[in-house]
């Protein structure tokens, strides 16, 4: 996953490429050590091997390390990137 830089209140999009597995992996996202739930400002998708986390209306406190984990009964893989949010 690549690091991302935005100026608040822009929308930030973080993506990670995940080779589809069998069974289909469950994708989870976390900020620091806290899991992120979809809803509100957070939107999560997994389409054609690309997992995407979209954060709408970013604020400076969104500045953090983000991790994407793909897990199924065979195993798990993870990647991380840093979101830097500057104020106007």
pLDDT given for residue 67 in this prediction: 98
- Percent of the chain residues topping a pLDDT of 70: 100
Please state the three-class secondary structure of 37-62 as a single string: CCECCEEEEEECCEEEEEECCCCHHH
pLDDT given for residue 22 in this prediction: 83
Query: For residue 8, what are the β-bridge partners?
Result: none
pLDDT given for residue 80 in this prediction: 97
Q: Which fold has domain 4-86?
A: Immunoglobulin-like (2.60.40)
Confidence of residue 88 (pLDDT cuts 50, 70, 90): confident
Q: pLDDT tens digit string along 5-30?
A: 999 999 999 999 998 778 889 999 99
Average pLDDT rounded to a whole number, residues 36-65: 96
Every domain of the chain and the residues it spans: 4-86
* Calpha distance 18→2 (Å, rounded): 14
CB atoms within 10 A of CB 58: 21
Q: State pTM to two decimals.
A: 0.93
């Amino acid at each position: 996953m690549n690091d991302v830089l935005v100026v608040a209140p822009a929308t930030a999009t973080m993506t990670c490429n995940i080779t589809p597995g069998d069974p289909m992996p469950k994708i989870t996202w976390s900020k620091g050590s806290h899991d992120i739930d979809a809803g509100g400002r957070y939107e999560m998708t997994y389409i054609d091997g690309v997992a995407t986390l979209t954060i709408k209306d970013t604020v400076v406190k969104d500045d953090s390390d983000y991790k994407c984990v793909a897990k199924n009964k065979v195993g798990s893989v993870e990647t991380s990137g840093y979101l830097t949010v500057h104020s106007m």
